[in-house]
Structure 1
């Protein structure tokens, strides 16, 4: 069951064509895919003062006759390995005409990534371009990046290499902010990141500089008539081009102690509201000392992650792949409801059938809430015996 498919091309990879259609009053959809810096955490009002909102305003002002739909597809604290599984539902289903992509910070900018993580990032770009959607690559900054002696960010160069291969316009916000802060002295880091306890998310002044760079990149792409390019082959392994976001509530029968439910409609932050990002969830609950049975699936694939919802009632679970080492994970969220994303396997042998066993480890009143098992390089095949 391959549940993630690339939408038929609706748009064009030519930025000048987007410009012409917008100037002519067309109906256009623009999506922003990324993490909390795309959503606008710590902005006074993410709907008005985030970089996403400011760039949306620039588009409305430049093209007053166009009819824009803006899609917020940003979940804080998540990277491209979940993003690639969200791409169809949260972006491509809207048939976007332009996408701004930010995952460099959340993919671990300060360390060398695994090939798996580079593959998921590249696969997002490749799927978008295959659908006919032009992409602007956005690389954002944190407070540590605009100091006199910033930390090294090795992932930036690797993401830029991917973007260059696909000829994406690059909004290098980090480089521009260093220029503005360190060289020109337009602002200090403390003025841009004005909450001492948050070194990641800027205030409105920081988001305004983000937007300045991103908007200038868009205008340059239009002026230079840039065209995104789809290489014949990927730079990195291609298993994230074959995906299965397997919804557990699609099973005919759930194990004993599991039931179908809906995700919560409130959370500790708006980008964590799980009803925005999930369909029905499979819920395992421990009642009067009876712990739900293990959920066992057969699948083929190379990488696996779980996508679900953590709450103040959540407990622990144990995962085994092919009956091997037991790994224990905790879904508990002391502050309230939010997304739960757990990578549980990478580098599995392709082309053979594996087993996945998820065993609840719950005290009375505790629960697990899982929406999907996400497999790259294959698919979930069936319930295992």
Structure 2
């Protein structure tokens, strides 16, 4: 048992027994194991406009409520920790896709497991080798030493599912994964744009020809913010395994066994122990799924329901930059925007402009769809300007690329939302003040749906 949790749990066990301590029980890698959130837009509260789509998950299993009712006063440290891990499992889902994935592992077929999310998945504070995604991958390699398991970590700091949906194909689906973990519960807000993007992203993964397994991991930050409630509706509708960190921490905090600082060194990110504990939660889901699958017999994957959980408005989102093209968007002129300079590391093939707005010829493009998303570099700087979008001959919106919470991070926001069709767009830089003075902007790419 982990030394840190032993200390935390041991202290409470001793106190609860009232007998003193003497009486208590003290990216992208591939390989074969050889033996061993920023936001897309302002996060204002909004009403839940769910369509209420659902599906039967006959093999689902919710163990969290059962574990919560257990009397823990006389349990050992190991039993308390085991209960904590068990409490994280919200639902196993229907396990149809998981059974196919586990079958490949057991039959020594090469597989790829991918993780997409924000900085928690990327491994901020713990590092790429000690983050929960890599630790989960390592544990699977240990469990299936003769199976080649490829690892894709598509975690990106400060990004919500709005941007996740845009970069999904590039960062995850192009690797042809057999299983995908999705983690955006603390980077997303409650506006409809997040719900629609999350639904579209999960559904797009499930729609792949390979029929990959998908599992949802819901995190929480110190303030208590998590989008678990509405995201779990997506998991229930599509019969997916779901793991909740909040189910673990809230109970441990209530009992006094843990405080936030045991899990995290800041307001949001797990420390090294927190990442190890998270890997335990994920592997518990794998173990419970494996046990259940043994009783299921032959499995046929159920088609996705016709009804979306929230909305199909961001379905099949396509990303476009200098190296990723699509018939959905054609650039007729880049104007005076720089087409050679590398932009942000995570989005290097964009366009930039530095100079007076009067000296910049606009970028001209045409896209076919209902929605145009802009991905841009955001910074807290008076030099960073805005981008004015003229759509079908009329000024539609002006998007500021400077914000008080900007830190040279990628941000995605709606540049146009309207009728389905082919639309002509002109983009030019303007200053925050409206004066004709030197400004700087970076367009990292576009999303079209």
Identify which of 115, 125, 131 aligns with 2:202.
125
Residue 165 to residue 364, structure 1, CA distance change in 2 (3 Å)? same
Q: Is the CA contact 2:131–2:275 (under 8 Å) kept in the aligned structure 1?
A: yes
Identify which of 312, 333, 344 aligns with 2:414.
344
Residue 193 to residue 37, structure 1, CA distance change in 2 (3 Å)? same
Asked if 1:281 corresponds to 2:346, the answer is: no
Give SS of 2:339's match.
strand
Query: Hey, what does 2:221 align to over in structure 1?
Result: 142
Asked if 1:263 corresponds to 2:342, the answer is: yes
Give SS of 1:374's match.
strand
Distance 1:166 1:253 in 2: 41
User: How far is 1:222 from its partner?
Assistant: 2.4
Q: Is the CA contact 2:123–2:131 (under 8 Å) kept in the aligned structure 1?
A: yes
Give SS of 2:367's match.
strand
Once the two structures are superposed, what CA deviation does each residue of 1:327-363 show, in whole Å capped at 9, x if it has no partner?
Answer: 2412589997x443131346x3322444433221367
Give SS of 1:55's match.
helix
Query: Hey, what does 1:315 align to over in structure 2?
Result: 384
Distance 1:83 1:334 in 2: 19
Identify which of 233, 237, 243 aligns with 2:317.
243
User: How far is 1:17 from its partner?
Assistant: 2.8
Once the two structures are superposed, what CA deviation does each residue of 1:82-117 show, in whole Å capped at 9, x if it has no partner?
Answer: 111111111111010111101121112xxx321x32
Once the two structures are superposed, what CA deviation does each residue of 1:243-266 show, in whole Å capped at 9, x if it has no partner?
Answer: 3323257666534322312535xx
Q: Is the CA contact 2:160–2:188 (under 8 Å) kept in the aligned structure 1?
A: yes
Once the two structures are superposed, what CA deviation does each residue of 1:189-246 show, in whole Å capped at 9, x if it has no partner?
Answer: 122223xxx3111211222222222221222222222877522321222122233323
Give SS of 1:239's match.
coil
Query: Hey, what does 1:23 align to over in structure 2?
Result: 106
Distance 2:347 2:339 in 1: 13
Identify which of 356, 363, 367 aligns with 1:299.
367
Once the two structures are superposed, what CA deviation does each residue of 1:242-300 show, in whole Å capped at 9, x if it has no partner?
Answer: 33323257666534322312535xxxxxxxxx44x43522222327x863122233334
User: How far is 1:305 from its partner?
Assistant: 2.0
Residue 127 to residue 231, structure 1, CA distance change in 2 (3 Å)? same
TM-score by length of structure 2 reads 0.67
Query: Hey, what does 1:206 align to over in structure 2?
Result: 274
User: How far is 1:140 from its partner?
Assistant: 0.6
Q: Is the CA contact 1:315–1:361 (under 8 Å) kept in the aligned structure 2?
A: no
Q: Is the CA contact 1:308–1:341 (under 8 Å) kept in the aligned structure 2?
A: yes
Distance 1:260 1:314 in 2: 20
Distance 2:130 2:334 in 1: 46
User: How far is 1:368 from its partner?
Assistant: 2.5
Q: Is the CA contact 2:218–2:243 (under 8 Å) kept in the aligned structure 1?
A: yes
Query: Hey, what does 1:187 align to over in structure 2?
Result: 258
Distance 2:426 2:306 in 1: 37
Distance 2:177 2:382 in 1: 37
Residue 313 to residue 95, structure 1, CA distance change in 2 (3 Å)? farther
Identify which of 61, 65, 77 aligns with 2:158.
77
Query: Hey, what does 1:380 align to over in structure 2?
Result: none
Query: Hey, what does 1:103 align to over in structure 2?
Result: 184
Query: Hey, what does 1:113 align to over in structure 2?
Result: 191
Superposed counterparts of 1:41-60, under 5 Å: 41-43=124-126, 46-60=127-141
Unaligned runs of 5+ in 2: 1-94
User: How far is 1:142 from its partner?
Assistant: 1.3
User: How far is 1:65 from its partner?
Assistant: 1.0
Residue 61 to residue 179, structure 1, CA distance change in 2 (3 Å)? farther
Bigger drift between 18-27 and 354-363 goes to: 354-363
Unaligned runs of 5+ in 1: 1-11, 146-150, 265-273, 377-385
Superposed counterparts of 1:209-228, under 5 Å: 209-225=277-293
Give SS of 1:224's match.
helix
Distance 1:86 1:299 in 2: 18
Distance 1:168 1:332 in 2: 37
